[in-house]
Chain A
C-alpha cells in the first residue's frame, strides 16, 4: 500500500511535467499552429528576445511577485505565530478575517480595489499591484504557516525553555529551523500565485506595468504565439538548472561527509 502510494505520487510528478514537455517540444515547432509539428526551428526564441514588451512584462511580474511574496510571508508568519503560539482572544475572528480574501470572487475584489485606490488618489502601478497581490497571497501564506506551527510539538519549546534557553534562542535554534521548509513553501506558493494572477492585476496594473499573464491573456483574441512556448521553456529550464546546480553541490557535501 505504501508502495502504491509512492507510485501514485511519482505519477503525479510526471503529470505535472507532461505539459511542460509538450511546451518544450512545441517551442521548437516551425509551424505557427499548435496542433501540427512541421519541423525544427529556433525562430521563436529569437522572436522572444526581440519582444521587448513581453520581456518588460516578465520583469514586472517577477518584481511584483517577489515583493508581494516576501510581504505575504512575513505578515503571514507574524499572524500565524500570534495565532498559534500566543493566547490571543478572538482567535477565530482573526483567522476568519485573514481568510476573507479567499471567499471573495476575484473580480469583485479587483473592481472594488480599483475604486478604493482611485478615491484614495493612488495611481495604479507597481504599488497597487503589490497591494492587490498581498491581499490574495496573505491567506495562503498564513494557512500554510499556521498548519506547520500547530502541528509542531509544543513540548519542544518547553523543553528548550526548561533547559534555560531564552525565548529568542528557543525561537531561533528550535522553532525556526523546524519551520524553515514551511516558510519556503509559503513563499513559493505566494510567489507563484502572484506571478500567475490575471484578474486582480487587470484592475491594479497601470501605465507600463502590464504583468506577464495580462500581456498573454490579452493576446487571446489574436491567438497565443509559439514564442510563449519558448518563454515557458526558458523559465522552467532556468529554474531546473539552478536546482541541479545546487543539487550537485549538495551531493558533493554528502560525499565529503558532514562537517565535524
Chain B
C-alpha cells in the first residue's frame, strides 16, 4: 500500500490503479466509437451493407426537421425523468442514510430486489395495475369515479420511468450522503436551523456529487428508452433511442444510424461538459467564500 502523504509515489500508484479502467474504456469504448465515427461517413446500400467510402450525405439527411423534433421531445422527456428520479431518489436516500447503521444495508437491498424481476415483466405488471381491468381503475369505479384507462398516458410513462430508474438515483445519492457527519445536523438544529435550511445548506451541498451522478445516470439513459413509451405511452411519439434502433434495424441503414448516434453523442458530451463547468464554478465560488 502507498503512503497517501507522499505525492510522487502515490501519483504513480494512482495511475497504476487507473490502468484497468483505462484499458476497458480504450479497448471497449474508444475503439468501437472510432468504428462508429468512421461508419457515420460511409455509404450504405439498400441491403443493409456498409460500402465504406466517404460521404456527408448521412449528416445532410439529419437536417430534416423530423430529427430535431424527435431530439427535442426526447431531451424534454429525459430532463423530466431526471428531475423526478433525483428528487424522489434524494428523499429515499436521505431516509435510508438516517436509519440506524444496521438497517441501512437491508433497506438498500430492499430497493434493489424488485429489479431482479425482469424489466419487461415488471412493465407488464404496471400495465395490469393501471389498465382498465386493473385494481386501480376498479377501485376508482367502486367509489363512483368513471376513470378511463391510464394506459396509455403520460402519467403511466412517468411512473414507470421513475420505477425503472429509481435505484440509479438512490444509490449514488446515498453513497455521498452516508458519510455526512450526523453531528452537523445536530449542530444545525442547535443553531435553530429549520428542516428546509438544514437540507438546503447541509445535505444538498454535501451530497452534490451524488445528486450530479443521479441526474446524469437518469437523464442520458432515458434517451435510449424505447419499450416504456411504446407499452405505456402508446408509442405515438418516438424517442431518439427508438429512432436510432429503427435506423439500425428496420431501415437497415447503419451509416445513418451511426451519424445520428454521433450527433447524440456530441450533444451529450457538450451538456456534460457544461454541467461540469457550472459545478466547478459553483464549488470555486464556495471555496472562495469560506
Contact = CB atoms under 8 A, between A and B. Distances in A.
User: Do chains A and B interact in one complex?
Assistant: yes
Given A87-B10, A107-B244, A108-B258, A182 B178 contact: yes
Given A150-B209, A188-B109, A189-B168, A102 B128 contact: no
Given A34-B128, A135-B29, A147-B213, A243 B106 contact: yes
B47 interface: no
A130 to B, nearest CB: 11
Interface string B154-187: 0000000001001110011111111111000000
A interface majority secondary structure: helix
A164 interface: no
A117 B26 CA distance: 14
A238 to B, nearest CB: 9
B13 interface: yes
A86 B4 CA distance: 7
B267 to A, nearest CB: 9
A186 to B, nearest CB: 8
B95 A235 contact: no
Nearest to A16: B114
A1 B180 contact: no
Nearest to A142: B21
A108 B261 contact: yes
B241 interface: yes
A53 interface: no
Nearest to A152: B179
Interface in A21-62: 22-23, 26, 34-36
A97 B181 contact: no
B136 to A, nearest CB: 9
Given A82-B15, A94-B18, A105-B223, A224 B163 contact: no
A181 B108 contact: yes
A38 to B, nearest CB: 12
A97 B30 CA distance: 9
A112 B35 contact: yes
B266 to A, nearest CB: 10
| Residue with the highest number of chain B CB atoms closer than 10 Å, among A79, A166, A186 | A79
Contact of B265 (A103, A116, A224): A103
Contact of B244 (A1, A75, A105): A105
Given A76-B21, A79-B17, A151-B176, A171 B32 contact: no
Given A5-B91, A86-B4, A192-B112, A108 B244 contact: yes
A67 interface: no
Contacts of A193: 168
A13 B110 contact: yes
B76 interface: no
Interface string A192-235: 11011011000000000000110011001000100011011001
B52 interface: no
Contacts of B181: 153
A115 B175 CA distance: 36
A146 B24 contact: no
B28 A113 contact: yes
A159 interface: no
A2 B195 contact: yes
11 contacts: A9-B92, A13-B92, A75-B21, A100-B25, A107-B241, A116-B32, A134-B28, A147-B176, A148-B179, A216-B121, A229-B121
Interface of A: 1-2, 5-6, 8-10, 12-13, 15-20, 22-23, 26, 34-36, 74-76, 78-79, 81-83, 85-89, 92, 94, 96-109, 111-113, 115-116, 131-132, 134-135, 138, 140, 142-148, 150-153, 157, 161, 166-168, 170-171, 178, 181-182, 184-186, 188-189, 192-193, 195-196, 198-199, 212-213, 216-217, 220, 224, 228-229, 231-232, 235-236, 239-240, 243, 247, 250, 254
Going nearest first, the 10 A-B pairs with the smallest beta carbon separation are A86-B14, A9-B95, A112-B32, A1-B195, A19-B125, A147-B176, A103-B268, A232-B117, A168-B1, A82-B17
